[in-house]
């Protein structure tokens, strides 16, 4: 299944062993000097990526560097960059890591377990199943053991912690437990200052502000269902029945 990464002025698509850079549906005014022609390269020919995260004032940039010959970095052809907005930082960061795993001419497909760990690296070590699925293009199997990754539930969601850096299983579980505790202490509309204050003394304090907000938004819709405040109960006035005389009956209209 092809994995699409939608940017501001283009798309990056992972399709089996190939990576595409497309400009579908992008106005020429947005692409600027970027080549509007599609670019296709074997993933084994990717020798690196240049990634610059987006900020509140500037778009992020992902540039893919491809060797002229598969597995050779003697001559490198650099693709036109794809720019992306702040909300897509996590996805393009994980994409850059996935593509960089092919460096040194490794043309074999990256194992599913390694893809999961790399995706978690791009999501700062903790993410919901849905967030990981957006990066990988398919839902990871939470029942499949993967070294360096711990799954646990937060409300009705599955959350994974870990990555390519070796960490103890207990530490990974503590991150998820801290997230579960956060859903019990904060309201769904908590702002970044409240979030940062709440995680200051927890294993989640390593998360950057943007990732912390992204993770919180991914969790609150399921773990914290919207509460509706019950308004005052209005009682309908009781209607008094008027006693009718014996033998009375309503008159039929002529």
- Sorting pLDDT into bands at 50, 70 and 90, what band is 35? low
Last residue of a domain, one of 66, 83, 110: 110
Q: What is the layout of strands, in order, in the sheet containing 149-154?
A: 126-128, 157-162, 149-154
Tell me, what DSSP letter sits at residue 175?
Answer: H
Per-residue pLDDT reduced to its tens digit, 190-200: 888 999 999 99
Which has the higher per-residue pLDDT, 72 or 155? 155
pLDDT at 25 over 50: yes
pLDDT of residue 239: 54
pTM of the model: 0.60
Last residue of a domain, one of 69, 85, 110: 110
Last residue of a domain, one of 63, 80, 110: 110
Residue 190 domain boundaries? 125-225
Question: Are 106 and 140 members of one domain?
Answer: no
Kindly report which listed range (33-37, 137-141, 208-212, 219-223) carries the lowest average pLDDT score.
33-37
Question: Are 168 and 206 members of one domain?
Answer: yes
Question: Are 86 and 129 members of one domain?
Answer: no
Q: Is residue 230 in some structural domain? A: no
Per-residue pLDDT reduced to its tens digit, 112-145: 888 899 889 889 999 999 999 888 878 899 998 9
CATH of the domain at 22: 2.30.29.30
Mean pLDDT across 57-77: 69
Q: Is residue 115 in some structural domain? A: no
Report d(CA 46, CA 42) in Å as an integer. 7
Question: Are 165 and 105 members of one domain?
Answer: no
pLDDT at 59 over 60: yes
Q: Is residue 251 in some structural domain? A: no
Please report, for residues 241, 244, 252, 254, the alpha-carbon distance to residue 247 in angstroms, rounded to integers and kept in the order given. Answer: 17, 8, 15, 21
Q: At what angle do helices 129-136 and 112-122 cross, to 10 degrees?
A: 110
- Sorting pLDDT into bands at 50, 70 and 90, what band is 74? very low
The DSSP-derived string for 60-85 is EEEEEEEEEETTEEEEEEEPPPEEE-
Q: Is residue 167 in some structural domain? A: yes
Question: Are 215 and 141 members of one domain?
Answer: yes
Residue 156 contacts residue 140 (beta carbons within 8 Å): no
Q: Is residue 237 in some structural domain? A: no
Question: Are 71 and 135 members of one domain?
Answer: no
Residue matched to tokens 């008094």: 240
How many domains are contained in the chain?
A: 2
Question: Are 6 and 102 members of one domain?
Answer: yes
Query: Reduced to 3 states, what is the DSSP secondary structure of residue 54?
Result: coil
Q: Is residue 14 in some structural domain? A: yes
pLDDT of residue 95: 87
Tokens of 153: 């539930």
Residue matched to tokens 């199997």: 141
Question: Are 104 and 133 members of one domain?
Answer: no
Question: Are 10 and 90 members of one domain?
Answer: yes
- Cβ-based neighbour number of residue 86 at 10 Å: 15
Q: Is residue 235 in some structural domain? A: no
Query: Reduced to 3 states, what is the DSSP secondary structure of residue 14?
Result: strand
pLDDT at 75 over 60: no
- Sorting pLDDT into bands at 50, 70 and 90, what band is 172? very high
Question: Are 80 and 175 members of one domain?
Answer: no
Per-residue pLDDT reduced to its tens digit, 94-103: 888 888 765 5
pLDDT at 73 over 50: no
Question: Are 13 and 84 members of one domain?
Answer: yes
pLDDT of residue 89: 85
Please report, for residues 115, 237, 242, the alpha-carbon distance to residue 252 in angstroms, rounded to integers and kept in the order given. Answer: 82, 30, 20
């Amino acid at each position: 299944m092809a994995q699409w990464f939608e940017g501001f002025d283009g798309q990056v698509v992972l399709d089996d062993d190939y990576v595409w850079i497309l400009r579908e549906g992008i106005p020429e005014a947005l692409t600027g000097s970027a080549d509007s022609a599609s670019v296709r390269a074997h993933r084994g020919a990717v020798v690196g990526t240049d990634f610059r995260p987006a900020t509140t004032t500037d778009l992020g940039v992902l540039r893919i560097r491809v060797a002229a010959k598969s597995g050779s970095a003697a001559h490198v052809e650099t693709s036109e960059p794809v720019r992306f907005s702040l909300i897509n930082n996590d996805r393009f960061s994980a994409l850059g890591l996935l593509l960089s795993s092919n460096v040194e001419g490794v043309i074999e497909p990256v194992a599913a377990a390694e893809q999961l760990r790399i995706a978690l690296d791009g999501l700062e070590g903790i993410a919901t199943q849905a967030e990981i699925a957006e990066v990988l293009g398919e839902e990871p199997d939470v029942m499949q053991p993967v070294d360096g990754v711990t799954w646990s539930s937060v409300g009705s969601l599955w959350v994974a912690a870990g990555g390519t850096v070796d960490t103890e299983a207990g530490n990974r579980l503590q991150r998820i437990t801290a997230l579960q505790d956060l859903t019990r202490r904060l309201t769904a509309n908590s702002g970044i200052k409240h979030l940062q204050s709440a995680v200051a003394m927890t294993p989640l304090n390593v998360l950057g502000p943007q990732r912390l907000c992204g993770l919180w938004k991914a969790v609150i819709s399921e773990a914290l269902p919207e509460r509706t405040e019950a308004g005052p109960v209005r009682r309908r006035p009781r209607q008094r029945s008027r006693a009718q005389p014996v033998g009375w009956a309503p008159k039929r209209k002529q």
